Structure 1
Amino acid sequence: MAKVFQKCKEGQRGKDPCSGVRCGHPWTVRYREPGGRSGRQREESFDKKGAADAFAAKVEREKDLGTYIEPLGFMTPLVAVYQEFIASGDRVNGTRYQYETSLRLHVEPYFQRKPIGAVKPKDLTAWLRWMVEERGYESSTAVNRYETLSGVFSFAVANDYIIKNPCQHVQAGRRKAKRRIKKTIHLPTLEEIAALAAHLPGPYQLLVWLMAGCGLRIGEASAVSLQQIDFEAGVLYVDRQITQDGENEEPRTRRQKAATKGRGRAHCIRHLKWRDQDEGRGVPIPTTIAAKIRDHIDKYGTYRVETGLNRIEGDYLFSNVGRTNILMYSLVDRLWRTAKRAAGITRKITPHWLRHFFASAGLSKGVPVTDMAEWLGHRDPKITYQTYAHVMPDAPQRLRVVMDSVFTLDVELSLPLSFEALTEAA
């Protein structure tokens, strides 16, 4: 329990206790933070006994209710709490790098050394407006940064810096910004795909066909190894990717220090982001693509990578030009722009468009959206449907034709009377 007393009445360092009943000396509240005898002991001074009694009662009540906040914790700068948030938890390097970038570009320039307890909902609304109007970011970008900051405030609440999350009062603005997000999907033509592949150097032409024929992302296509391919079953098992979020070795020279100034910049072969170590996806390999893979291996062989820092063991289909390292993003980007220019293609076409071509071509020809979601690596088929609904305009008519043929007995329907299915528990 908190103790209320006057130090002058107890005597200090050999001094005689104060004998006056109303001596005018301050009143002290001595108490422990939550945690019993292991809690930190603190003291607060007050001019009047009534104020001291009220504070003591308040501290004990907050300890009982679990709402006690460490004194001056709310005075900790928001930037400092954000840095603690980044360091906490098991985050992949790419996510940590994104958080650090957002802190440096969006949070620190605006809030500077502002205490976290002084940030109000109106400050967050002004910050959102500042990012769009002053910095020129899209509303969707501002929303993403806001949601990360909301996580920082939730972290602060959980660690007793503040009592409540001020972001809870800016929900309406967040939903409004999300409704304005509308994504336009661009597709290359088959002629453009063939032209791009033809104008890439021979060892890299297969990249185009893996993305357009198997729906791989550029990082996934760059990391395809011989061990992932089952030619007999016609399946490519996608479980790894090349990213730029690897661990940097300790720099020794001035040049190395300059190259690693930003953390999380090293290229690495890593398991698929947001997936468990044993989680991947099997993608059917079209016969035409399988033939191109065999031809690529016959002509250029594979590049052997051993297990090590930022590496997963395997015989990879692609490497750098000198065949001394893995395929880097900068090389792919340079080769892509050169091939696009050589092919005479003037409109913007990115490697990710090839993945859109794969999904759109399959869905437009009747491939079930659930299967396509699995092969694209989407956790929820709803994402696939919402993204590519434009290529499935005849889906309702296809359903009508199927059901009409069933009810008119034009087709023979053979269904089991019962079957087991995996469902989510209520």
Structure 2
Amino acid sequence: MATTGLTRGMGSFFKECEHPESRWTRCPHEYKIRYRNAAGQQTEESGFATQEKARTRLAEVYHARKNSPQSQRKAERIQKYGGMQFSAYAAEWLKGQRHQGPASLRMLESTLKNHLLPAFGSRRMGTFDHKVVEAFIETMERNGVGLAAQTHAFVRLKTILLDAHRLGLYEDNPVDGVQPPQYDPKRAVIPSLAQLQGIRTAGDEAFNLVAELMSGCGLRNGEALAINVDNIVADDVYRVTEQVNQTTKTYAPLKHRKVGEYRDVPLPARTKQAIEHYADTYGTVEGYLLRNPKDITLPMPHHTVDNQWRRIRRSRQVHIPEGMVLYGLRHFFASNCLSRGIPITDVAEWMGHRSIEITFKTYRHLMPGSIGKAAKILDLGLAA
């Protein structure tokens, strides 16, 4: 079935028959037309005896759509925002992100300042398409930008462009078909058990406790800093209810969770003993263990642990894998779970991931031979 296009946005006419387009004017089959209605949905009409009637109907629909109040408003938005520079549009968009927390806003501003504005600050909003976005990703890769920074930059750019797309600036979604920055499993550097044992005793007792909590329970850095003995809800269960916000240096809801929401995680006996030992040695404040060394009424700030980690790495007194960051202690927890056959759905829940896809993309390489293992287990069931 061939179709004949007209002016962009006008639609097309065609015949659903075996005849080539060159014989349409002589064959007896009716013409059909296809166009997008005022709501943007593809629509077909049939019953046109001649090509001229099909064209006339398409022109009627096109002009009615162009002259509708909705189309006029869209045209006004295109005129207003199409020529606007990305920097001005992003600044206006940022004002509407009041629902974001302080840490999220800080990251948004950082991503704009360090990646998006240098690349697109003066670009007119109406000139974006998938090729522009793909070239941006390629440039970040070529310049050695870290994967996390690449991902944040792409997600923010995508969000801003989709906002503009909803205003009608683009006929087609400017990020359709664009492959986002791809995760490389080799980037998740995980310590061996022997290396972990050295790391867990390399700092002061506060650092060592954080290392125990991250590697034993899979807590994030900020969640470990908010450790509270009252959250030990069973001998083998710890309830994660809050974190220390890196920006505000105060207790805050968990990542991807609302105030009052929590998640329960496994509490190994070794980790429980480490918590109790610290509490017995240094005491607690309303159940909290880790406090600001300069003011015990405040939580321990992130930089206290981060600075120790940097000193430990520089000292070379313990063997730390090349490229490992403090977050590698949390990666160890996931590796320990998955290598022992614990379902990835459980691991995703315990780690507080927003979706299992994040867990799968990050740790799929830690489950080698899972298909072969499954085949053997299924074979046992079939032979029973």
Using the size of structure 1 for normalisation, the TM-score is: 0.64
Aligned length: 315
Cα deviation for residue 92 of structure 1 reads 2.0
> Which residue is 1:344 aligned to?
318
1:327 paired with 2:334, answer: no
Tell me: CA distance 1:293–1:126, structure 2 relative to 1, closer, same or farther (3 Å). closer
SS of residue in 2 equivalent to 1:69: helix
**Structure 1 residues 396 and 124: alpha-carbon distance in aligned structure 2, compared to 1, 3 A threshold:** closer
Question: Corresponding residue for 2:76?
Answer: 69
Q: TM-score, normalised by structure 2?
A: 0.71
- After superposition, where does 1:3-402 map in structure 2 within 5 Å? 61-65=67-71, 67-70=74-77, 71-89=79-97, 90-119=99-128, 123-124=132-133, 127-128=136-137, 130-133=139-142, 136-137=144-145, 141-142=149-150, 144-158=152-166, 160=167, 163-164=169-170, 168-169=173-174, 171-172=176-177, 174-175=178-179, 178=181, 180-184=182-186, 185-230=188-233, 232-246=234-248, 267-302=249-284, 304=285, 314-324=286-296, 325-340=298-313, 341=315, 343-345=317-319, 347-348=321-322, 349-402=324-377
Name the stretch that deviates more: 62-71 or 372-381. 62-71
d(CA) in 1 for partners of 2:344, 2:132: 43
Give the conservation status (yes or no) of the 8 Å contact 1:153–1:165: no
Say if 1:153 and 1:382 are closer, same or farther in 2 by CA, change over 3 A: closer
Gaps of 5+ in 1: 1-56, 247-266, 305-313, 410-426
Per-residue Cα deviation, 1:246-279 (whole angstroms, up to 9, x for no partner): 3xxxxxxxxxxxxxxxxxxxx2321112212232
Deviations 1:60-83 (A, max 9, x none): 814144534245443333212111
Whole-angstrom distance in 1 between the partners of 2:325 and 2:145: 21
Matches of 1:121 and 1:407, distance apart in 2: 50
The RMSD of aligned alpha carbons is 3.1
CA–CA separation in structure 1 for the residues paired with 2:364 and 2:140: 32
- Look up the SS of the partner of 1:282 in the other structure: strand
Identity of aligned residues (%): 26
Shift of 1:169: 4.3
CA contact (8 A) 1:223 1:316 kept: yes
Query: What do the CA deviations read for 1:286-312 (whole angstroms, capped 9, x no partner)?
Result: 12221221111100112x3xxxxxxxx
Question: Shift of the alpha carbon at 1:404?
Answer: 4.2
Opposite residue 351 of structure 2, the aligned amino acid is: L
Distance 1:143 1:333 in 2: 23
**1:112: Cα distance to partner?**
3.7
Work out whether residues 256 and 354 of structure 2, in 8 Å CA contact, stay in contact via their aligned partners in 1. no
Larger radius of gyration: 1
